[in-house]
Amino acid sequence: MAIFKGAGVAIVTPMKDDGSVDYESFKNLIEFQIENGTDAIIVCGTTGEASTLSHEEHLDTIKYCVETVNGRIPVIAGTGSNCTETAVYLSKEAEKYGADGILLVTPYYNKATQNGLYAHFKTIAEAVKLPAILYNVPSRTGCNILPETVVRLCREVHNIIGVKEASDSISQIAQLASISHGYVDIYSGNDNQIVPILALGGQGVISVLSNVAPRQTHDICERFFEGDIEGSRRLQLEAIKLCSALFCEVNPIPVKKALNLMGMNAGTLRMPLTEMEPANAARLEEAMREYGILK
């Protein structure tokens, strides 16, 4: 059974000017998501700048999120690493804190063969009882988990239940849907591909867009599931310009800028991420105004 169905937000980690985690603003962001119909919160993923959080900060942020949500919607903790041992440690701690699931990114930089990926994910998943979603984002990791490997993991490791697919390849995702026969929970990892992946049998999206437009992202999924395909498609197309602007620089640079423009106090970024270029910031602001989330 899927951990969630619909729109899960890949939530940012707000930071103070000194770079420390801003928990007061984080609480406000969490409440904003829940009030606007988000179906799950994915904490400490790529958008949450997990790669530049210390292990202590990473785990404190997961713990705070779980406690603040307090069972109202599922919380999925990003606990992946390019070090299997580290990912096991983070996953065990997230389980102790009461997370509802874990998100495991493919190993970055050192990468792995398909057999190596199988061993990596199997080792992590078997160290906990939580359901696990794999995260395939080769543009950032340099490592692509093939459909056959995803299906093998979901069939042979009882608590690996699906994948966040951000490969950009609809052909690869269609192949996965074809050979999995509905056995794998597929989530779109790209906001401009929500409807196409739902049409292939996907369960929803793990979304950057949802940080700034949670109700609209939720509605794209809900309308599709209710059979209003035309309504879902229209909402998807209305969001395309904003989706493009949210990725005109490396995520989460634009989405943090967007939240700050909305007065949501996402704060600063951790280096090597830097503030948005003025021309791109103007493009983002224009897209937000056209979309109706900025006056």
Rounded CA separation 283/281 (Å): 5
Just list the catalytic residues.
135, 164
Tokens encoding 230: 């035309």
Q: What share of the chain is helix, strand, coil (3-state, %, to 5)?
A: 50, 15, 35
Q: How many CB atoms lie within 10 A of CB 60?
A: 15
Q: Do the Cβ atoms of 252 and 46 come closer than 8 Å? A: yes
For residue 209, what is the DSSP state? G
Residue 77: closest CA among 249, 69, 85: 69
As to burial, measured by CB atoms within 10 angstroms (0-12 exposed, 13-18 middle, 19+ buried), residue 278 is exposed
Rounded CA separation 71/180 (Å): 31
As to burial, measured by CB atoms within 10 angstroms (0-12 exposed, 13-18 middle, 19+ buried), residue 271 is exposed
- Chain position carrying tokens 């599931």: 225
Rounded CA separation 3/278 (Å): 39
Q: Which residues contact 153 (CB under 8 A, 6 or more apart)?
A: 118, 121, 122, 125, 134, 160
